[in-house]
Each structure stands twice: as C-alpha cells, then as structure tokens.
Amino acid sequence: DAGVIQSPRHEVTEMGQEVTLRCKPISGHDYLFWYRQTMMRGLELLIYFNNNVPIDDSGMPEDRFSAKMPNASFSTLKIQPSEPRDSAVYFCASSFQGSNQPQHFGDGTRLSIL
C-alpha cells in the first residue's frame, strides 16, 4: 500500500520566494497533519484537517503560512514570502478517525531558504 507521499523531497530557494509543499495522504484516511521539524524546537504541529476542513491552525507560525486541502487526496502548505528561518523539514501525516489512532508520516520535504 502506498504511504503518505510528499513532494518535493528537497527544495532550495531564495528568501522572498513562494514555496509550495504538497502531500497525498493514505487513501481512506480522514485526518491530515502538517508538522515542522527543526533542531531547536523538534517536531511541532502546524495545522490539521478533518475531512478536508482545517480544525486547528494554532501552530501556524504567522500569516506567511497557509494550508489548504481541496479534496481528500491532496493538501498543500504554502509559505509566501519565505524567510531563512523557515528552513526545516516539513512532514505530512495522516490517520484514520484521528482520535488516538496512529499517525503515518511521509518522508518529509527538506526546505532550505537562502
């Protein structure tokens, strides 16, 4: 079975540019999560969706970050404009019936903002 698929795997861009990260959750999963991983702060939840609806976006750092889930099989996380401090690994995860069910992670997007 295909797991959570993220693209791109790596992204290097200059500050000020728009960055779009993509995620395809596991088919049938109704919860989707975006996390950010840095050395300093570890893994932080940014936002999560249930049935394509954003439920909690309190972890989104600031207005430069936005996330959408237009359908059950696709989500995007956008940063505009990007800044060097946004450099991190961004993970997408999905789960079925979210509450207390294991979350399955993608391989992440390693983002470097120069």
Binding-site ranges for another protein (CB under 8 A)? 4, 31, 33, 42-43, 45, 48, 50, 55-56, 59, 91, 93, 95, 98-100, 102-108, 110
Q: How far is the CB of 83 from another protein (least distance, A)?
A: 24
Q: Are the CB atoms for 11 and 112 separated by under 8 Å?
A: yes
In 3D space, the residue among 89, 111, 109 whose CA is nearest the CA of residue 5 turns out to be: 109
Closer residue to another protein (CB): 51 or 80: 51
Q: How far is the CB of 42 from another protein (least distance, A)?
A: 5
Q: What is the DSSP string of 10-21?
A: EEEE-TTS-EEE
Say how far apart CA 21 and CA 11 lie, in whole Å.
9
Closer residue to another protein (CB): 79 or 93: 93
Q: How far is the CB of 68 from another protein (least distance, A)?
A: 19
Q: How far is the CB of 93 from another protein (least distance, A)?
A: 8
Closer residue to another protein (CB): 10 or 85: 10
What DSSP character marks residue 88? E
Closer residue to another protein (CB): 39 or 71: 39
Question: Could you give the count of Cα atoms lying within 13 Å of 75 in the half-sphere of its Cβ?
Answer: 35
Residue listed under structure tokens 């395809």: 24
